[in-house]
Amino acid sequence: MTSNTTFTTPPPTAKYAILSFPTPEILLVTLNRPDQLNCINLDGHIELDAIWSWLDGEPSLRVGIVTGSGRAFCAGADLKEWNTNNTTGTRRSMPPSGFAALSRRSGKKPIIAAVNGLAYGGGMEAAVNCDIVVASSGASFALPEVKRGVVALAGALPRLVRTVGKQRAMEMALTGRTYGTSEMQRWGVVNEVVGDAEGKGKGVVQRAVEVAAEIAANSPDAVVVSREGVKLGWEGIGVEDGTRFMAESWYPRLVEGENIREGVRAFVEKRRPKWKASRL
């Protein structure tokens, strides 16, 4: 899939992922180390940080999607690289945006996780912090770090408890157990499961693109600000503080833009809005 859009800056060079554009407004990032179950090495984190930063800064793009090639979404860290670094005493840190540049990403534009298979360790941590999670019926989720003597330190633990509650988060973190998509949907980690029990039916990426297109059809300014409002609540800011921050910091920027006027005018004129690229 390609795009005819002329970008203001070229896409970052990608060695460990494939970049494609299902529509001119949507960026699809496919993690592409299938033989390693899309485990991410340190260079991969740096690469993805540049990609998601480019998404946020490129005016023509409105939504991102991340998925994996092969049978895994992402099975976590590259433990072979980790072991080599332990042996040699090499110490390199991933970007502040966390695992896959997603697990601690704040960002500006929404990203949908199209979980096509195994989402383990850092892979699950990345998915938990995506804005919407669409998963294939055969996908599975786990935080198996305790089985390897390490800890899920990329951001999932404090974020997960706000989604599934303390007891469920404790169960996942302390047992390292693997969970199917139906359970993750009941617990609120997964928005939608795609395909039947045999994995037949619409593909998970296809469905993620449909959801992304639905988002991209809305005002890009309003999407950015609405996402920020939800994040404020999820990250623990009280309702009154969050509302005040939105009103004082984000709403003035929204009303200064062209899209809010275009949306109202299009409603009155009974036509589809013609949105401008967001400059927020």
Catalytic (active-site) positions: 125, 145
> Checking phi first, is residue 249 left (phi over 0); if not, alpha (psi -120 to 50) or beta?
alpha
Token output for 109: 């534009």
Q: How many CB atoms within 10 Å of residue 148? A: 13
Non-local (6+) Cβ contacts of 215 within 8 A are: 62, 63, 110, 223
* Tokens linked to 131: 């804005």
Give how far Cα 12 sits from Cα of 19, 40, 118, Å: 9, 17, 26
Quote the distance between the C-alpha of residue 50 and its chain's center. 14
For 156-191, letters b (16+ CB in 10 Å) and e give: bbebbbebbeeebbeebbeebeebebeebeebebbb
